[in-house]
Chains A and B, each alone.
Chain A
């Protein structure tokens, strides 16, 4: 089997949606490895509410494509149990908000088993879920809870922002021997982008420079990546050259790529959709302050969701989310 990574030859551009790219990753991994199976609510004949698992049932059958009861704790727990005895489950939790119901199994079980077993056990499972605001789903279906999982040694946390990354990262997550929380963004499912065909892997723990620039570094995650790129394009018209870095994996975090960009630009804006307190944005900001303080020409600036439950009303929801304008303002601030 020849594996293609981004470092080597890229396939000719072929446009897929983020959802299609994820599906392609699942299909390829299920074909490659009979131990891989998927389970979750409405994922079999319905194909998942965002259609990521559409067609898997017909292809792989009921044994490996399983609709589950509405029992997040049992579903996540069952994935843990299946993983420790040699299967490779991929759970779909419909909304990351619902993962609150499976927290014990993730935090107290999945994340600890390898450590407790003295290194004898592995937990090769993936929890695919989606989060984020922007769809009018309100406060129990729109949260960005990735910081909770980043706080737990033993888990890995991935947030792809493009179709290509979605495919390459999901394939790597499925092949990883550790529990991986794979958080998709609901507003990205129908975005399109070039996706390499075949066995394309993006390694976990490696950031991607989504746009090269000299003047300021913007570190953005998930749904904030396209927004940061829009801000960068807007500022390019004013001759402000913005570098946009997408960590892609929050745990482990590619600190080297972030720090070397800061070393070059000396100015940083960190953009995340989650609320500001005790979040991934604060974490990255602290990293830069601690490790690259003398590279900085201005204090690190954070842009993040407002500290309120995500509201339903469109106007309010827009006010809640970090906007392109806010990112532009933040960039101007660190440049002055």
Chain B
């Protein structure tokens, strides 16, 4: 329980059996998320989207990538309003994602959902969500179907520490535990619910401890260290597949940007911002790859260049996609 679980999986590579190629692939995904968000922020600023805005995932990349690396392609995730990172980590097509941000016909929701509703059922992403904790019981239900239908799929729900104060989170934790469902609750504690510091809404600093009241193991991990997240997720996946029930993983992380492009960056203590941005998950992973794995700076630079090109291609695809026809307003309301 709590921090005691931390030493079991540290940030170093020692305890994972990932190949160098797999580690570099994780790096590539983390950097893709970063680049995707930066370009999306640029495009938003330039007025290319002309819509409400986006919730950037910058600073939290290690969480989505660490968790999704522990999942198989058939496993399922339910995401949040800050969902671009989860979607990319689960294999989404970034061209279709940007097309959705731009409200275009080739977007994941055919331009009808926008940033907060990108879903990719072909890759097990049950969707981002505009409601805090809205996806939590959905993931529980996906795990329930897995249990009833015997598909052995594991479901993950991502949510913030703000959403941990929704009643449905506690209801879901309880339901998943009494039915021993193969679901993993991943709390991304980024310390702010829009503008409100976690200390004002959480009586205890850790959300993970809430698992105890429901018989769900709660683990706190360093959400800036992708391999630490990965290790905890692997353990939770193993438990889920063995039929041992849910796990609650709290990833301590930080939202580098503001809540969204339409809300100002909250006033945060300068030393807090400095301490967290010094622990940029991508920088930390680069250091690890270099020191432990011997991956050269040049090799990583090459990865980044490739990603930059891919993101530009995605932007080009998205912005050349047509606007939806007005008739499409009425499409897909019913199956």
Q: Which residues of A pack against B, CB within 8 Å?
A: 35, 37, 63-64, 66, 68-69, 71, 73-87, 89, 104-105, 108-109, 112-124, 153-154, 156, 176-178
Looking at the assembled complex, report how far the CB atom of B328 sits from the nearest CB atom of chain A, in whole angstroms.
10
B143 at the interface (CB under 8 A from A): yes
Select from chain A the residue with minimum beta-carbon distance to B155. A81
**13 A-B Cβ contacts within 8 A?**
A69-B171, A74-B140, A77-B141, A80-B141, A82-B141, A85-B76, A85-B142, A87-B148, A109-B134, A115-B113, A115-B333, A117-B332, A118-B108
B334 contacts which chain A residues (CB < 8 A)?
114, 154, 156, 177-178
> A118 and B332: CB pair below 8 A?
yes
- Which of A81, A115, A178 is the one whose CB lies under 8 Å from B109? A115
Give Cα distance in the complex from A176 to B335, angstroms.
8
Looking at the assembled complex, report how far the CB atom of B95 sits from the nearest CB atom of chain A, in whole angstroms.
14
Q: Which of B107, B110, B145 has the most CB of A within 10 A?
A: B145
> B121 and A121: CB pair below 8 A?
yes
Looking at the assembled complex, report how far the CB atom of B248 sits from the nearest CB atom of chain A, in whole angstroms.
15
B174 contacts which chain A residues (CB < 8 A)?
69, 71, 74
Range of interface residues on B (Cβ < 8 Å)? 35 or more
Give Cα distance in the complex from A85 to B332, angstroms.
18
Given A81-B144, A89-B141, A108-B131, 9 more A-B residue pairs with CB atoms under 8 Å apart are A35-B149, A68-B175, A69-B178, A71-B174, A74-B172, A81-B137, A81-B142, A104-B168, A118-B109
Looking at the assembled complex, report how far the CB atom of B330 sits from the nearest CB atom of chain A, in whole angstroms.
9
Given the contacts A69-B171, A81-B139, A153 and B78 also touching, CB distance less than 8 Å: no
A112 contacts which chain B residues (CB < 8 A)?
117
B112 at the interface (CB under 8 A from A): yes
Give Cα distance in the complex from A305 to B146, angstroms.
44
Q: Which residues of B pack against A, CB within 8 Å?
A: 76, 78, 107-110, 112-113, 117, 119, 121-122, 126-127, 129-131, 134-149, 151, 153, 155, 167-168, 171-172, 174-175, 178-179, 331-335
Given the contacts A78-B175, A81-B126, A122-B335, A73 and B167 also touching, CB distance less than 8 Å: yes
Given the contacts A108-B131, A154-B333, A79 and B167 also touching, CB distance less than 8 Å: no
A84 contacts which chain B residues (CB < 8 A)?
121, 126, 138, 141-142
Select from chain B the residue with minimum beta-carbon distance to A88. B145
- Which of B121, B126, B147, B171 is the one whose CB lies under 8 Å from A71? B171
Looking at the assembled complex, report how far the CB atom of B329 sits from the nearest CB atom of chain A, in whole angstroms.
10
Give Cα distance in the complex from A69 to B171, angstroms.
8
Given the contacts A114-B332, A115-B109, A115-B333, A76 and B146 also touching, CB distance less than 8 Å: no
A120 contacts which chain B residues (CB < 8 A)?
119, 121-122
> B332 and A78: CB pair below 8 A?
no
B141 contacts which chain A residues (CB < 8 A)?
77-85, 89
Looking at the assembled complex, report how far the CB atom of B174 sits from the nearest CB atom of chain A, in whole angstroms.
6
Given the contacts A69-B171, A69-B175, A118-B332, A85 and B137 also touching, CB distance less than 8 Å: no
- Which of A81, A86, A124 is the one whose CB lies under 8 Å from B140? A81
> A75 and B175: CB pair below 8 A?
yes
Looking at the assembled complex, report how far the CB atom of A44 sits from the nearest CB atom of chain B, in whole angstroms.
13
- Which of A81, A104, A178 is the one whose CB lies under 8 Å from B335? A178
Looking at the assembled complex, report how far the CB atom of A35 sits from the nearest CB atom of chain B, in whole angstroms.
7
Looking at the assembled complex, report how far the CB atom of A97 sits from the nearest CB atom of chain B, in whole angstroms.
17
> B130 and A108: CB pair below 8 A?
yes
Select from chain B the residue with minimum beta-carbon distance to A72. B171
B168 contacts which chain A residues (CB < 8 A)?
71, 73-74, 77, 104-105
Looking at the assembled complex, report how far the CB atom of B136 sits from the nearest CB atom of chain A, in whole angstroms.
7
> A81 and B122: CB pair below 8 A?
no
Select from chain A the residue with minimum beta-carbon distance to B141. A81
Give Cα distance in the complex from A87 to B141, angstroms.
9
B117 contacts which chain A residues (CB < 8 A)?
112, 116
Select from chain B the residue with minimum beta-carbon distance to A34. B149
Looking at the assembled complex, report how far the CB atom of B137 sits from the nearest CB atom of chain A, in whole angstroms.
2
Give Cα distance in the complex from A16 to B119, angstroms.
45
Select from chain A the residue with minimum beta-carbon distance to B332. A119
Q: Which of B167, B172, B174 has the most CB of A within 10 A?
A: B172
Q: Which of B78, B168, B174 has the most CB of A within 10 A?
A: B168
Q: Which of A69, A71, A76, A156 has the most CB of B within 10 A?
A: A71
A122 contacts which chain B residues (CB < 8 A)?
335
Q: Which of A71, A77, A109 has the most CB of B within 10 A?
A: A77
A118 contacts which chain B residues (CB < 8 A)?
107-110, 112-113, 332
Select from chain B the residue with minimum beta-carbon distance to A77. B137
> A71 and B332: CB pair below 8 A?
no
> B171 and A74: CB pair below 8 A?
yes
Looking at the assembled complex, report how far the CB atom of A204 sits from the nearest CB atom of chain B, in whole angstroms.
10
> A77 and B136: CB pair below 8 A?
yes
Given the contacts A73-B171, A85-B76, A121-B119, A63 and B335 also touching, CB distance less than 8 Å: no
> A108 and B134: CB pair below 8 A?
yes
